Amino acid sequence: MRSHILIGLTILLFACAPVATNLPDGKPFNNATPSIIPTAALSLTPTTGATSTLMPSPTATLTPSATVTLEATATVQLICLKIMPLGDSITFGEGAVTYGGYRNLLGVLLANDGYMVDFVGSQQTGIGVITDPDNEGHGGWKIMNIKDAIDSEGWLEIYQPDIILLHIGTNDINRGYAASAPENLSALLDDILLRLPEARIIVAQIIPYSSGPLEEHTAYNAAIPGIIASKGPRVSVVDMQNILSQDDFADTYHPNAGGYDKMARAWQAAILTLESLPDLTCSPK
Protein backbone atom coordinates (compact mmCIF):
# COMPACT_ATOMS: atom_id res chain seq x y z
CA MET A 1 0.00 0.00 0.00
CA ARG A 2 1.54 3.34 -1.02
CA SER A 3 1.16 6.65 0.72
CA HIS A 4 2.33 10.09 -0.37
CA ILE A 5 4.10 12.42 2.01
CA LEU A 6 4.82 16.07 1.28
CA ILE A 7 7.58 17.54 3.35
CA GLY A 8 8.56 21.21 3.18
CA LEU A 9 12.19 21.72 3.97
CA THR A 10 13.61 25.16 4.76
CA ILE A 11 17.32 25.27 4.28
CA LEU A 12 19.50 28.16 5.38
CA LEU A 13 22.76 28.11 3.52
CA PHE A 14 25.52 30.48 4.43
CA ALA A 15 27.85 32.29 2.09
CA CYS A 16 31.47 32.06 3.04
CA ALA A 17 34.25 34.61 3.53
CA PRO A 18 35.77 36.27 0.45
CA VAL A 19 38.94 34.96 -1.11
CA ALA A 20 41.99 35.96 0.90
CA THR A 21 44.62 38.32 -0.47
CA ASN A 22 48.41 37.84 -0.39
CA LEU A 23 48.05 34.32 -1.74
CA PRO A 24 50.97 31.95 -2.40
CA ASP A 25 52.22 32.25 -5.93
CA GLY A 26 50.87 29.44 -8.05
CA LYS A 27 50.36 28.66 -11.70
CA PRO A 28 47.16 30.06 -13.23
CA PHE A 29 44.11 27.85 -13.13
CA ASN A 30 43.05 25.86 -16.12
CA ASN A 31 39.56 26.90 -17.17
CA ALA A 32 37.31 24.92 -14.87
CA THR A 33 33.93 23.85 -16.18
CA PRO A 34 31.20 25.29 -13.92
CA SER A 35 29.13 22.70 -12.10
CA ILE A 36 25.37 23.10 -12.39
CA ILE A 37 23.72 22.39 -9.06
CA PRO A 38 20.22 20.99 -9.54
CA THR A 39 17.13 21.61 -7.51
CA ALA A 40 16.50 17.87 -7.66
CA ALA A 41 14.16 16.16 -5.23
CA LEU A 42 15.19 13.21 -3.09
CA SER A 43 14.10 9.85 -4.41
CA LEU A 44 14.38 7.69 -1.29
CA THR A 45 11.50 5.23 -0.97
CA PRO A 46 11.88 3.68 2.50
CA THR A 47 10.11 0.64 3.89
CA THR A 48 7.08 1.44 6.03
CA GLY A 49 8.26 2.31 9.52
CA ALA A 50 11.78 3.22 8.39
CA THR A 51 13.52 6.37 9.53
CA SER A 52 15.27 7.95 6.55
CA THR A 53 18.22 10.35 6.56
CA LEU A 54 16.94 13.43 4.76
CA MET A 55 19.48 15.73 3.15
CA PRO A 56 18.95 19.32 1.97
CA SER A 57 18.82 19.99 -1.75
CA PRO A 58 20.93 23.08 -2.55
CA THR A 59 20.38 25.16 -5.66
CA ALA A 60 22.79 26.92 -8.00
CA THR A 61 22.07 30.23 -6.27
CA LEU A 62 22.09 28.68 -2.79
CA THR A 63 18.40 29.50 -2.39
CA PRO A 64 17.58 28.95 1.30
CA SER A 65 14.40 26.95 0.78
CA ALA A 66 13.21 23.94 -1.19
CA THR A 67 10.24 21.59 -1.25
CA VAL A 68 10.85 17.85 -1.49
CA THR A 69 8.30 15.12 -2.20
CA LEU A 70 8.93 11.59 -0.95
CA GLU A 71 7.05 8.37 -1.62
CA ALA A 72 6.90 5.41 0.74
CA THR A 73 6.49 1.75 -0.14
CA ALA A 74 6.61 -1.51 1.80
CA THR A 75 8.64 -3.45 -0.78
CA VAL A 76 11.76 -1.41 -1.60
CA GLN A 77 15.26 -2.29 -0.40
CA LEU A 78 17.89 0.41 -0.18
CA ILE A 79 21.64 0.18 -0.67
CA CYS A 80 23.36 1.10 2.58
CA LEU A 81 26.75 2.83 2.52
CA LYS A 82 28.90 3.81 5.49
CA ILE A 83 31.25 6.49 4.16
CA MET A 84 34.14 8.03 6.08
CA PRO A 85 35.28 11.41 4.73
CA LEU A 86 38.95 11.37 5.80
CA GLY A 87 41.53 14.15 5.59
CA ASP A 88 42.38 17.65 6.78
CA SER A 89 40.41 20.90 7.02
CA ILE A 90 39.10 20.55 3.45
CA THR A 91 37.41 17.31 4.50
CA PHE A 92 36.18 19.04 7.66
CA GLY A 93 34.53 21.65 5.46
CA GLU A 94 36.52 24.73 6.45
CA GLY A 95 35.43 27.68 4.34
CA ALA A 96 31.84 26.46 4.45
CA VAL A 97 31.62 24.80 7.86
CA THR A 98 27.98 25.59 8.48
CA TYR A 99 27.17 24.23 5.02
CA GLY A 100 28.75 20.87 5.79
CA GLY A 101 31.46 20.96 3.11
CA TYR A 102 31.12 18.54 0.21
CA ARG A 103 28.94 16.21 2.28
CA ASN A 104 25.96 18.55 1.89
CA LEU A 105 25.36 17.92 -1.82
CA LEU A 106 27.02 14.48 -1.87
CA GLY A 107 24.42 13.08 0.52
CA VAL A 108 21.62 14.38 -1.72
CA LEU A 109 23.21 13.03 -4.90
CA LEU A 110 23.76 9.55 -3.45
CA ALA A 111 20.23 9.47 -2.02
CA ASN A 112 18.92 10.20 -5.50
CA ASP A 113 21.11 7.35 -6.76
CA GLY A 114 19.34 4.96 -4.38
CA TYR A 115 21.80 4.83 -1.50
CA MET A 116 21.06 5.23 2.20
CA VAL A 117 24.26 6.97 3.28
CA ASP A 118 25.70 7.07 6.78
CA PHE A 119 28.67 9.45 6.99
CA VAL A 120 30.90 8.36 9.87
CA GLY A 121 33.71 9.89 11.91
CA SER A 122 34.51 11.57 15.22
CA GLN A 123 34.12 15.17 13.92
CA GLN A 124 30.98 17.08 13.01
CA THR A 125 30.31 20.07 10.75
CA GLY A 126 27.12 21.32 9.17
CA ILE A 127 25.15 20.66 12.35
CA GLY A 128 21.57 21.82 11.93
CA VAL A 129 21.95 22.10 8.14
CA ILE A 130 22.57 18.48 7.22
CA THR A 131 21.21 15.65 9.33
CA ASP A 132 24.42 13.58 9.11
CA PRO A 133 27.32 15.93 9.99
CA ASP A 134 29.89 13.22 10.84
CA ASN A 135 33.34 13.23 9.23
CA GLU A 136 37.00 12.57 10.01
CA GLY A 137 38.49 15.88 8.86
CA HIS A 138 41.21 17.50 10.99
CA GLY A 139 42.44 21.02 10.33
CA GLY A 140 46.19 21.39 9.80
CA TRP A 141 46.92 17.66 9.73
CA LYS A 142 49.52 16.10 7.44
CA ILE A 143 49.39 12.57 6.03
CA MET A 144 51.30 11.01 8.92
CA ASN A 145 49.07 12.75 11.48
CA ILE A 146 46.17 10.84 9.93
CA LYS A 147 48.08 7.56 10.02
CA ASP A 148 49.17 8.05 13.63
CA ALA A 149 45.61 8.84 14.73
CA ILE A 150 44.24 5.79 12.91
CA ASP A 151 46.73 3.71 14.87
CA SER A 152 46.06 5.35 18.24
CA GLU A 153 42.35 6.25 18.10
CA GLY A 154 40.95 3.19 16.33
CA TRP A 155 38.61 5.14 14.03
CA LEU A 156 38.50 2.44 11.38
CA GLU A 157 37.67 -0.33 13.85
CA ILE A 158 35.06 1.85 15.58
CA TYR A 159 33.18 3.04 12.49
CA GLN A 160 33.87 0.19 10.01
CA PRO A 161 33.28 2.30 6.87
CA ASP A 162 32.50 0.64 3.55
CA ILE A 163 34.11 3.50 1.61
CA ILE A 164 36.77 6.04 2.61
CA LEU A 165 37.00 9.33 0.73
CA LEU A 166 40.60 10.49 1.21
CA HIS A 167 41.68 14.04 0.37
CA ILE A 168 45.04 14.65 2.08
CA GLY A 169 48.40 16.28 1.34
CA THR A 170 47.69 20.02 1.35
CA ASN A 171 49.41 20.58 4.70
CA ASP A 172 52.38 18.44 3.67
CA ILE A 173 52.84 20.90 0.79
CA ASN A 174 52.17 23.95 3.01
CA ARG A 175 54.77 22.96 5.58
CA GLY A 176 57.66 21.71 3.52
CA TYR A 177 56.93 17.97 3.54
CA ALA A 178 55.99 17.64 -0.12
CA ALA A 179 58.97 15.42 -0.97
CA SER A 180 57.93 12.72 1.53
CA ALA A 181 54.20 13.01 0.83
CA PRO A 182 53.98 10.22 -1.80
CA GLU A 183 55.82 7.73 0.41
CA ASN A 184 53.67 8.68 3.41
CA LEU A 185 50.48 8.34 1.38
CA SER A 186 51.54 4.84 0.38
CA ALA A 187 52.12 3.91 4.03
CA LEU A 188 48.73 5.34 5.04
CA LEU A 189 46.94 3.31 2.39
CA ASP A 190 48.73 0.12 3.45
CA ASP A 191 47.57 0.71 7.02
CA ILE A 192 43.94 1.26 6.00
CA LEU A 193 43.88 -1.77 3.72
CA LEU A 194 45.26 -3.96 6.51
CA ARG A 195 42.72 -2.74 9.05
CA LEU A 196 39.68 -2.85 6.75
CA PRO A 197 39.91 -5.94 4.50
CA GLU A 198 36.62 -5.20 2.69
CA ALA A 199 36.61 -1.41 2.46
CA ARG A 200 37.16 0.64 -0.69
CA ILE A 201 39.34 3.76 -0.66
CA ILE A 202 38.96 6.60 -3.15
CA VAL A 203 42.01 8.89 -3.15
CA ALA A 204 41.74 12.41 -4.52
CA GLN A 205 44.38 14.14 -6.56
CA ILE A 206 44.05 17.21 -4.39
CA ILE A 207 42.72 20.67 -5.20
CA PRO A 208 45.31 23.50 -5.48
CA TYR A 209 45.43 26.86 -3.72
CA SER A 210 43.03 29.59 -4.80
CA SER A 211 45.95 31.21 -6.66
CA GLY A 212 46.58 28.03 -8.63
CA PRO A 213 48.74 24.90 -8.21
CA LEU A 214 52.33 25.04 -7.03
CA GLU A 215 54.96 22.74 -8.51
CA GLU A 216 54.62 20.69 -5.33
CA HIS A 217 50.90 20.17 -6.00
CA THR A 218 51.64 19.02 -9.51
CA ALA A 219 54.40 16.62 -8.44
CA TYR A 220 52.37 15.10 -5.60
CA ASN A 221 49.27 14.65 -7.74
CA ALA A 222 51.34 13.10 -10.53
CA ALA A 223 52.63 10.46 -8.11
CA ILE A 224 49.19 9.40 -6.85
CA PRO A 225 48.00 7.22 -9.79
CA GLY A 226 51.15 5.07 -9.61
CA ILE A 227 50.71 4.62 -5.86
CA ILE A 228 47.06 3.66 -6.34
CA ALA A 229 47.90 1.16 -9.06
CA SER A 230 50.27 -0.63 -6.67
CA LYS A 231 47.60 -1.13 -4.01
CA GLY A 232 45.18 -3.41 -5.83
CA PRO A 233 41.53 -3.16 -6.85
CA ARG A 234 40.19 -1.81 -3.55
CA VAL A 235 41.88 1.57 -4.09
CA SER A 236 40.95 4.04 -6.82
CA VAL A 237 41.69 7.66 -7.71
CA VAL A 238 39.55 10.70 -8.49
CA ASP A 239 41.06 13.72 -10.24
CA MET A 240 40.22 16.99 -8.47
CA GLN A 241 43.22 18.98 -9.69
CA ASN A 242 41.32 21.24 -12.09
CA ILE A 243 37.66 21.06 -11.10
CA LEU A 244 37.63 24.42 -9.25
CA SER A 245 38.07 28.01 -10.41
CA GLN A 246 39.24 30.96 -8.34
CA ASP A 247 35.61 31.90 -7.68
CA ASP A 248 35.12 28.54 -5.93
CA PHE A 249 37.36 29.42 -2.96
CA ALA A 250 36.47 31.03 0.37
CA ASP A 251 40.14 31.68 1.19
CA THR A 252 43.61 30.60 0.09
CA TYR A 253 43.12 26.91 0.79
CA HIS A 254 39.43 26.13 1.25
CA PRO A 255 36.47 25.97 -1.16
CA ASN A 256 33.27 27.89 -0.63
CA ALA A 257 29.88 26.14 -0.84
CA GLY A 258 29.92 26.15 -4.64
CA GLY A 259 33.43 24.70 -4.70
CA TYR A 260 32.46 21.96 -2.28
CA ASP A 261 29.50 21.11 -4.50
CA LYS A 262 31.91 20.53 -7.38
CA MET A 263 33.95 18.23 -5.14
CA ALA A 264 30.72 16.41 -4.23
CA ARG A 265 29.99 15.70 -7.88
CA ALA A 266 33.51 14.32 -8.38
CA TRP A 267 33.14 12.04 -5.35
CA GLN A 268 29.72 10.88 -6.56
CA ALA A 269 31.06 9.91 -9.98
CA ALA A 270 33.96 8.02 -8.38
CA ILE A 271 31.65 6.14 -6.00
CA LEU A 272 29.29 5.10 -8.79
CA THR A 273 32.17 3.59 -10.77
CA LEU A 274 33.32 1.31 -7.93
CA GLU A 275 33.24 -2.39 -8.72
CA SER A 276 33.11 -5.48 -6.53
CA LEU A 277 31.58 -3.77 -3.53
CA PRO A 278 30.56 -6.07 -0.67
CA ASP A 279 26.86 -6.85 -0.27
CA LEU A 280 25.52 -3.52 0.97
CA THR A 281 21.81 -4.19 0.44
CA CYS A 282 19.85 -3.42 3.58
CA SER A 283 16.27 -3.59 4.75
CA PRO A 284 15.62 -0.52 6.92
CA LYS A 285 14.14 -1.31 10.31
pLDDT digits (tens, 9 = 90+) for 23-75: 455 554 454 443 333 333 333 333 333 333 333 334 333 333 333 333 433 34
Span of 51-65, 120-134, 219-233 with lowest mean pLDDT:
51-65
Average confidence (pLDDT) over 187-205 = 97
Whole-number Å distance between alpha carbons of 151 and 157:
10
Q: Report whether 60 contacts 36 (CB < 8 A).
A: yes
More confident position, 250 or 55: 250
* Residues found in the chain: 285
Handedness of CA 216, 217, 220, 223 (dihedral sign): negative
pLDDT band at 79 (very low <50, low <70, confident <90, very high): confident
Q: Which CATH class is domain 3-282?
A: alpha beta
Q: What's the whole-model pTM score?
A: 0.74
The residues spanned by each domain of the chain are 3-282
| Lowest-pLDDT range of 14-23, 144-153, 230-239 | 14-23
